[in-house]
C-alpha cells in the first residue's frame, strides 16, 4: 500500500474529516430548500431591475444560478472546513505520539510528509467536488437547468451564459475552487507542522485568511500595493470562470499565483518537518 | 373685443382640429391592425447593450387582442417591453392628447409625427412620439421616454403576411440609464449599472395570424 493511500485512510478514519461533508450537505440542502420555498419572490426580486424595461421569459432561478450563489460560501465556511482537517494532519499525530513511530519506518521524512500533504489535497478536492455534486444535483432536481445569469461588478454587468456553457463553466469553476481552497489547506498544513496541537493551526490559518480578506477589501490606497501579495486576492479564481468572455490570461495568472502559494507553503512546511526534533 | 380675446378665440378654434387631425392619423394606423384577432410569431432577439452580454435569444410570442401576450422560450428571453410587441391598439386615443408634431418624408413617402401625451399621470403612462406613414398607415417609428433619463426608440420594418402588414424587424435604441440594483442583493453584492444603453434587434418570422388562439394559452402569463 502506498504512503499516500495510508495517509488517505488515516485521514478518513478520523471523525472530524466528516464534519466538513456534513456541514456542506446541511448548508447546501438548507439553502436550496429555502430558495425553493421562496422561489416566486426571489425570481421577482431577481428580475426587479429589468422587468420595467423588458418583457422577460424563462426561469432566472435554475440549478446553475443557485450553484453560483452557493459557491460564494467558498469565502465563508468552506475555508474553515478545509483548515479543520488540514490543520490536524501533522499536529494530531504529534499530540498522540504516533509521529515518532511513523518516522522510524524506512520511508524518508520528506516522503511521509509529501504523502500527508497530498492526502490533505485529496480531502480538499473531495470536499469541493462533493459540494459541487450536491449543489448541481439538488439544483437540477429542484429548479431544473437553464441559462446562467450573472451580475458582475465589472463590465458587462449582466452576463447570460447559455445552458450548455453554464454547465461547463460551473464544472470548471468547481475545479478552480479546489485550487483556491488548496491554498487554505496548505497554510493550515504548514501551521500544523509548527506546533503540536490542532487548535492553533486551525484558528491561526483562518485568522490569516480573514485578515488577508479584510486587508484586501479595505478601500485604502496604501493597501492597494499589498493586494498582489495576498493569496486571498487570487482565491476568487472560480468567479473568473463564470464570466463571459473568460479572461484566460487572468485565470492563468491567478492559477499560477495559487500554485505558487501552495508550493511555498509546502516547501516551508517540508523544511520545518524534515528538521523538526520530534520527541514524542 | 381686445387683442387678448381674439388670441384666446383663435387658440380655441385651432386646438381641436390639431387634436382631431392627429386622431385621424392614429385611427388610421389602428384600423390597419383591426383585422388581427391574434397571432403567433417566432421572435429572435439580438442584444448589443454595453452592460449586457447575452447570446441571441429565441422565443415564440403569442398575441391576442386587445393586449394579451405570452412568451414561450426554452432559455432566458428578454425583449424591450415598450416596442417588442407592436400593437397600435395600446395607443388608446381616449388616454392621450394627440398632437401633430410635423410632417416629413419617410423613405420617399409622406409621413407624420404624432405626439401622444397621457391625459392622466398614471404609472406606466408616458409621452410617446409616433411616426406614421401616410401611404400605408403603418407606424414606422416609436419613441418613448418612460422616465427622466430613460429613452427607447424603435424603427420598424414591415412585411406582408396573410394580407396583413406585420413587423419583420424592429431596431431598438435603448438608453435606460441606471438599472435598479435592488434585485441584485440576491447575489450578495450591490452594484451600479449605469451604462444600460445600446441597440436591440428584434426579428419576427413565421407569422400565423388569426388561427383562433385559445384564452387558455394566456392563463399563465410568463411575462413579468
As a whole number, mean pLDDT of residues B77-99 equals 80
A145: nearest CA partner in chain B: B75
Report for B18-27, B75-84, B198-207: range of highest mean pLDDT = B198-207
Return the DSSP state at A147.
P
CB < 8 Å to A58, chain B = 73-77, 222
pLDDT of residue B10: 47
Residue A252 lies in a domain: yes
pLDDT of residue B155: 93
CA distance A118 to A182: 10
pLDDT of residue A49: 63
Interface contact B181, partner A, CB < 8 A: yes
Residue of A133 and B12 predicted with greater confidence: A133
Return the DSSP state at B106.
E
- Band (B179; pLDDT cuts 50, 70, 90): low
- Torsions phi, psi for B41 (to 5 deg): -145, 145
Residue B224 lies in a domain: no
For chain B, the 3-state helix, strand and coil shares in percent, each to the nearest 5, are 20, 45, 30
As a whole number, mean pLDDT of residues A190-210 equals 90
pLDDT of residue B3: 52
H helices, E strands: number in chain A: 13, 3
- Here the CATH number for the domain that contains residue B93 is 2.50.20.10
Domain that holds residue B18: 2-218
pLDDT of residue B178: 58
- Report the domain count for chain B: 1
Interface contact B152, partner A, CB < 8 A: yes
Cell numbers placing B114:
404624432
- Torsions phi, psi for B223 (to 5 deg): -60, 135
Burial of B36 (0-12, 13-18, 19+ CB in 10 A): buried
| Contact criterion met (CB < 8 Å) for A156 and B72 | no
Residue A130: pLDDT over 90: yes
Q: Are B59 and B73 in contact (CB under 8 A)?
A: yes
As a whole number, mean pLDDT of residues B128-147 equals 87
Interface contact B174, partner A, CB < 8 A: yes
As a whole number, mean pLDDT of residues B210-214 equals 85
- The three-state secondary structure class of B34 is coil
Residue B223 lies in a domain: no
- Report the domain count for chain A: 1
Residue B210: pLDDT over 60: yes
Residue B224: pLDDT over 50: no
Predicted confidence (pLDDT) per residue in A134-182, tens digit: 999 999 999 988 888 887 766 777 888 888 899 999 999 999 999 999 9
CA distance A70 to A142: 14
Residue A214: pLDDT over 50: yes
Task: Please spell the DSSP secondary structure of B135-185, one letter per residue.
Answer: TT--EEEEEEEEETTEEEEEEEEEEEETTEEEEEEEEEEEE--SBP-GGGG
As a whole number, mean pLDDT of residues B178-202 equals 59
CB < 8 Å to B176, chain A = 53
What lies within 8 Å, CB to CB, of A201 at 6+ separation is A83, A86, A87, A88, A91, A188, A189, A191, A192, A194, A195
CA A154 to each of CA A72, A239, A265, B35, B174: distance values in angstroms, whole numbers, following the listed order: 17, 12, 32, 48, 20
If phi > 0 it is left, if psi is from -120 to 50 it is alpha, else beta; for residue A207 that is alpha
- Count of alpha carbons within 13 angstroms of residue B165, beta-carbon side: 16
Mean pLDDT score across all residues of chain A: 88
CA distance A269 to A117: 10
Alpha carbon B205 to chain centroid distance?
18
pLDDT of residue A34: 93
**Which value does ipTM take for this structure?**
0.73
Q: Are B168 and B155 in contact (CB under 8 A)?
A: no
As a whole number, mean pLDDT of residues A262-268 equals 96
- Band (A123; pLDDT cuts 50, 70, 90): very high
Q: Are A189 and A208 in contact (CB under 8 A)?
A: no
Residue of B64 and B181 predicted with greater confidence: B64
CA distance A92 to B152: 66
Residue B171 lies in a domain: yes
As a whole number, mean pLDDT of residues A269-278 equals 84
- Torsions phi, psi for A188 (to 5 deg): -65, -40
Alpha carbon A176 to chain centroid distance?
9
Cell 378665440 belongs to B9
Residue B124 lies in a domain: yes
Chain A interface mutation, best of B67, B78, B218, highest count of A Cβ atoms under 10 Å: B78
Residue B114 lies in a domain: yes
Domain that holds residue A220: 3-274
B61: nearest CA partner in chain A: A57
Distance from CA of A75 to the nearest CA of B (A): 12
pLDDT of residue B91: 81
Rg (C-alpha) for chain B, rounded Å, is 20
CA distance B157 to B168: 6
Residue A279 lies in a domain: no
- The three-state secondary structure class of A269 is helix
Residue B88 lies in a domain: yes
Interface contact A40, partner B, CB < 8 A: no
- Band (A30; pLDDT cuts 50, 70, 90): very high
CA distance A178 to A181: 5
- Band (B5; pLDDT cuts 50, 70, 90): low
- Band (B187; pLDDT cuts 50, 70, 90): very low
Predicted confidence (pLDDT) per residue in B144-171, tens digit: 876 667 788 899 999 988 888 899 999 9
| Contact criterion met (CB < 8 Å) for B78 and A72 | no
Residue B185: pLDDT over 50: no
- The three-state secondary structure class of A153 is coil
Residue B86 lies in a domain: yes
What lies within 8 Å, CB to CB, of B118 at 6+ separation is B95, B96, B97, B125, B126, B127
As a whole number, mean pLDDT of residues B83-88 equals 76
pLDDT of residue B68: 84
Residue B182: pLDDT over 80: no
% of chain A residues with pLDDT over 90 = 51
Interface contact B216, partner A, CB < 8 A: no
- List the end-to-end C-alpha distance of chain A, in Å, as a whole number: 26
CA distance B134 to A237: 59
pLDDT of residue B177: 65
Predicted confidence (pLDDT) per residue in A78-102, tens digit: 999 999 999 988 887 777 777 677 7
Residues 75-114 of B with CB under 8 A from A: 75-82, 84-85
Amino acid at each position: 500500500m502506498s504512503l499516500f493511500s495510508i495517509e488517505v485512510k488515516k485521514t478518513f478514519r478520523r471523525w472530524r474529516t466528516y464534519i466538513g461533508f456534513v456541514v456542506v450537505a446541511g448548508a447546501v440542502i438548507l439553502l436550496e430548500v429555502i430558495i425553493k420555498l421562496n422561489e416566486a419572490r426571489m425570481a421577482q426580486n431577481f428580475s426587479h431591475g429589468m422587468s420595467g424595461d423588458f418583457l422577460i421569459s424563462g426561469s432566472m432561478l435554475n440549478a446553475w444560478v443557485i450553484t453560483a450563489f452557493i459557491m460564494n460560501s467558498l469565502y465563508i465556511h468552506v475555508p474553515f472546513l478545509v483548515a479543520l482537517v488540514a490543520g490536524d494532519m501533522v499536529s494530531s499525530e504529534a499530540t498522540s505520539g504516533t509521529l515518532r513511530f511513523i518516522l522510524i519506518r524506512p520511508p524518508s521524512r520528506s516522503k511521509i510528509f509529501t504523502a500527508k500533504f497530498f492526502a490533505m489535497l485529496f480531502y480538499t478536492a473531495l470536499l469541493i467536488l462533493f459540494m459541487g455534486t450536491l449543489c448541481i444535483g439538488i439544483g437540477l432536481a429542484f429548479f431544473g437547468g437553464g441559462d446562467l445569469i450573472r451580475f458582475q461588478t465589472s463590465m458587462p454587468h449582466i452576463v447570460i451564459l447559455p445552458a450548455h456553457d453554464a454547465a461547463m463553466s460551473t464544472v470548471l469553476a468547481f475545479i478552480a475552487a479546489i485550487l483556491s481552497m488548496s491554498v487554505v489547506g496548505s497554510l493550515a498544513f504548514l501551521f500544523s507542522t509548527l506546533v503540536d496541537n490542532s487548535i492553533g493551526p486551525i484558528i491561526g490559518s483562518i485568522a490569516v485568511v480573514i485578515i488577508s480578506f479584510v486587508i484586501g477589501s479595505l478601500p485604502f490606497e496604501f493597501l492597494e500595493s499589498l493586494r498582489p501579495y495576498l493569496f486571498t486576492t487570487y482565491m476568487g479564481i472560480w468567479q473568473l470562470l463564470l464570466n463571459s468572455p473568460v479572461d484566460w490570461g487572468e485565470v492563468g495568472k491567478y492559477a499560477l499565483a495559487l500554485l505558487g502559494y501552495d508550493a511555498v507553503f509546502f516547501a516551508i512546511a517540508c523544511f520545518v518537518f524534515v528538521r523538526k526534533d520530534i520527541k514524542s | 373685443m381686445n387683442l387678448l380675446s381674439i388670441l384666446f378665440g383663435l387658440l380655441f378654434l385651432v386646438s381641436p382640429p390639431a387634436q382631431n387631425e392627429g386622431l385621424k392619423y392614429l385611427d388610421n394606423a389602428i384600423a390597419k391592425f383591426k383585422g388581427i384577432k391574434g397571432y403567433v410569431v417566432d421572435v429572435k432577439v439580438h442584444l448589443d447593450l454595453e452592460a449586457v452580454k447575452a447570446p441571441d435569444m429565441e422565443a415564440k410570442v403569442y398575441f391576442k387582442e386587445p393586449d394579451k401576450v405570452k412568451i414561450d422560450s426554452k432559455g432566458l428571453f428578454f425583449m424591450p417591453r415598450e416596442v417588442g410587441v407592436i400593437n397600435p391598439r395600446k395607443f388608446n386615443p381616449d388616454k392621450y392628447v394627440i398632437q401633430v408634431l410635423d410632417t416629413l418624408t419617410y423613405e420617399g413617402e409622406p409621413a407624420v409625427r404624432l405626439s401622444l401625451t397621457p391625459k392622466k399621470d398614471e404609472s406606466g403612462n408616458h409621452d410617446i412620439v409616433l411616426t406614421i406613414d401616410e401611404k400605408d398607415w403603418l407606424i414606422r417609428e416609436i419613441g418613448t421616454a418612460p422616465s427622466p433619463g430613460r429613452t427607447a426608440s424603435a424603427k420598424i420594418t414591415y412585411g406582408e403576411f396573410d394580407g396583413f402588414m406585420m413587423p419583420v424587424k424592429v431596431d431598438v435604441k435603448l438608453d435606460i440609464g441606471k438599472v435598479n440594483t435592488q434585485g441584485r442583493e440576491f447575489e450578495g453584492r450591490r452594484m451600479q449599472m449605469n451604462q444600460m444603453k445600446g441597440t436591440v434587434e428584434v426579428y419576427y418570422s413565421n407569422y400565423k395570424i388569426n388561427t383562433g388562439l385559445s384564452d387558455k394559452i394566456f392563463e399563465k402569463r410568463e411575462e413579468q
